[in-house]
A and B are shown apart, each in its own frame.
Chain A
Amino acid sequence: MTPTQTAYKDLIFQSEGYFGAYGGCFVPEVLLPGLQEIAAAFDEAKTDPSFLDQFHDTLHTFSGRPTAFTPLPRLTEEIGGARLFLKNEGLNHTGAHKITHCIGQILLAQRLGKRRIIAETGAGQHGYATAAVCARFGLDCTVYMGKKDYERQRPNVYWMELLGAKVVAVEDGTQTLNDAVIAAFKDWVEHPESYYLLGSAVGPHPYPAMNTFFQKVVGEEIRSQCLEAAGRLPDYCVACVGGGSNAMGMFYDFLDDEDVRLIGVEAGGRGTRPGEHAAKVLHGQLGIFEGYHSYFLQDGDGNIASTHSVSAGLDYCGVSPILAYLADEGRVQFETASDEAALAAVQRLARVEGLIPALESAHAFAHAFELAATLPKDQVVVINASGRGEKDLFITMRHFQEESLVAYAQHLLK
């Protein structure tokens, strides 16, 4: 590997929250002391060997890391192009990559002596993981969830409540992730002594860099697993992008390997008109919202636009300022996959390889299948299966077997 001219890896953790022009800390003054406290604690912890030992030990014993790196020989054969592998983050406890930054942040909250955790959630994966680590470490937990997400991801609501968390359905706005983030920030204004455990590589400093730091273990594992399984580094790493935590987790370790191409796949939804998709980098404009400067879906007058995706985890108006910067630099390439393509990818992966990805991750697969067909057979494409698909039972079942779902619902109600 030849080193690249830009050392992106160093830049991300030395930037004080600015990535090129993006990032920053755009919050009301009342939240600044809390954010500065977290940023200072993170700065200390990230080089503290005892903290890092505890982090990696908890990842191993509580979440089951390292996660599997799985060749997809039958799909490779069927598509007839590049060799396909997946990183199975869905094997983590609670079913997705989210628990990795939750473990990192809960250890930080504990270090700060916090007793109460606030979190937002979209698909429910971050809330579910937050509820699990709060139970594990004995902290009080309140999770905000848009009412639309609350209803479409009901299984995760149940798991959070079983784990002792209070789940609040937010009825403001479009009732999705965006509104949950705002409700969580308002809770933090009213309870500044609480710890806000924000769940993606978005938001004000230090969250984008901090969650990337905790998630980068994904790419580190892929590096060694891919060398072992394929005898080379990936030629392409493909991840879905909602806020960007799983993508940054996968991409970070490869940022300075210029031969490893990095592709983020946004939610193409059901069309390219405003409100039909959630493709921020490809269709958004620069703005400042929810604490950070990045690309946002908005109207021409600075109001935030509504978004759509079949997957709740991608149904969000903004994108990580780190990814916005890397997109402008040309280091990460962006594509979209539609609702239909994602659903089809779930079915194809299930039938051909016996794996059921989350609808979010299915966007990455949908694009990777198209990409692989265009590549020679010696190339290696790795896809981040950021979550497993069981949480989507009622969405995918309605799509694939609506009559069975209705019959089952009627049976339950008898």
Chain B
Amino acid sequence: MCGICGCSQPNPNSTAHHHDHTHDHDHHDDHSHDHDHHNHDHHDHKHSSHEAERLIKVEQDILSKNNLYADQNRAFFRQRGILALNLVSSPGAGKTTLLVETIKMLKDQLAIAVIEGDQQTDHDAERIRATGVPALQINTGRACHLDAHGIGHALMELGIKPNSLLAIENVGNLVCPSAFDLGEAHKVVVLSVTEGDDKPLKYPDMFHAADIMLINKIDLLPYVDFDVERCIEFARQVNPNLQIIQLSATKGENFKVWTDWLTAQFPDHA
């Protein structure tokens, strides 16, 4: 049994479960309060126990459990010199193709492993395995994102080598995965030019959470109504520090800028 979470999977990490968390709490007078009234009566003593009601201060981040697992994953990566990237995008932006091409270019230089997240099927993991690198598929079922707990288990199953590049391809979704830290070094957001150039403004959480944005499928620019400059301007409004690379994963245009960025993250391999 997993000693961290009590689930029936093997323990992803031997570190004991702890509940420490810090409280950053600013109160502002302009809080507004919404009360959701349900159709039950708080004064209905027929249903209440005899114990008096009391107030308990909790002050706990709703994501605290996920963040604890993310910290454990991050420690796992740090101890082994693993660079973990969390690739996020809408469905169809080209994450898997980008990974396949990245692996083809770098696999002789770097140990690479991939965790694939999709609601169903292991088609993507099969595509990755065809390149000769290990890949594990996580099917999230009804969930719309990967979480740090699932990644912890995947790490144990994958048997990842020290000093590897670990690419985690998240579920295609520009909303939910932004909230869930997986322990990665960077979120990489992929936006393809067949989408709207205003996506950074429409889905600001993700572009705010990412460190690098890849504008993919630039070979299709002549055929689509996508204004690259406008897109970059919007993205930098949301995140002034965002690094941006324009490339085409299928045609190879500018692809070396991306792989150079990746290898630069591994000083020993560059």
Interaction A to B: no
Residues of B that sit less than 8 Å from A by CB: none
